[in-house]
Amino acid sequence: MTVRPHSVWRMTFRDGPGGEDFCEDCFRYGVAVLGSQGQPDLTDIVESDFRQFWKEYSISGSGGVNQGTHCSFRYRMKAGDIIYAKSGNRIVGKGMVISRHRYNKSGKVLPRCLSGWAYFRKVKWEKNFAAISSSEAPQMFDPSSFHTLLRLDGIRLHELLSAERRTQKERDAQKGSTPKAQKRDVEEGKRQIKEIAFLSRNRAIIEERKRLFGEKCEVCGFSAEIAYGEIERDCLVGHHLMPLGGSAHARRTTLEDIVIVCPNCHQAMHSEKPPLTVEQLHEKLRFSWEQLHTS
């Protein structure tokens, strides 16, 4: 089993900067929503065509949702990613994305909400999430980061996870939690710190490998830069050659442990168990993206 480097997002659900907040509705219906009334169904538009469609339909959300946000919501966000919901000066919810982006034809993903918010993803929101205040995680509320959707990494992510742990602990203490529950908190905290260390190291290794070997799939040669041009691109993933789940001791990932592949090749590698190696998949390739673009 390989661990996919999942992303963590902070998302605001609000009808315009001063508008109605619909976090509670999102939690109730198990969704994250984006867009506004009258927007066409663009769910099947591939990323390379999206900019053109955006222009044609002059899309802009009533909440000032921009093209970058739409692209992130459609193409960057993946099932398994985590969303923290921001409402005013608090983080009020946390959930896991469980579907691809979809379009609701009636424009009524949230029945109480007047404007449509027709684009959505299904999200499994955590029950009993302890809300995090702005004083606990100030970077979450920095005016420079007031986008609808913000990918969290590095210091922002670290700050948020620490704040989440502290807030949860305080709430448990107020409830008069048992030593057993406190022990569970400590274990949970340790696990989160390990996870952050793993994810940030993983990302650093992936970036280093891209710098050394080029930003393209090491199997088929797919290059997002050539395919998509200026559009924000970050679709290549790191495939772990040594299954991470199998090792009894924590190992440090090195440059040699990871290959950079496109999502298609990644899936193809995992079509067999154990996964196909780069060489094995390369032999099976009937078409190389690189050939196409050099011939």
Query: Residue numbers of the site for Zn ion (CB under 5 A)?
Result: 217, 219-220, 222, 262, 265
**Considering the complex, what minimum distance in angstroms separates the CB of residue 81 from Zn ion?**
22
- Which is nearer to Zn ion, 193 or 278 (by Cβ)? 278
User: 273 near 254, Cβ under 8 Å?
Assistant: no
- Which is nearer to Zn ion, 146 or 213 (by Cβ)? 213
What single-letter amino acid sits at 24? E
Cα dist. 178→168, 171, 172, 174, 265 in Å? 14, 12, 9, 11, 48
**Considering the complex, what minimum distance in angstroms separates the CB of residue 276 from Zn ion?**
12
**Considering the complex, what minimum distance in angstroms separates the CB of residue 79 from Zn ion?**
20
- Which is nearer to Zn ion, 110 or 259 (by Cβ)? 259
- Which is nearer to Zn ion, 109 or 262 (by Cβ)? 262
Cα dist. 84→55, 170, 196, 220 in Å? 30, 19, 16, 35
**Considering the complex, what minimum distance in angstroms separates the CB of residue 184 from Zn ion?**
42
**Considering the complex, what minimum distance in angstroms separates the CB of residue 261 from Zn ion?**
5
What separation, in Å, do the N-terminal and C-terminal C-alpha atoms of the chain show? 37
Structure tokens at 37: 């009334």
- Which is nearer to Zn ion, 109 or 220 (by Cβ)? 220
Closest of 203, 269, 243 to residue 6, by C-alpha: 203
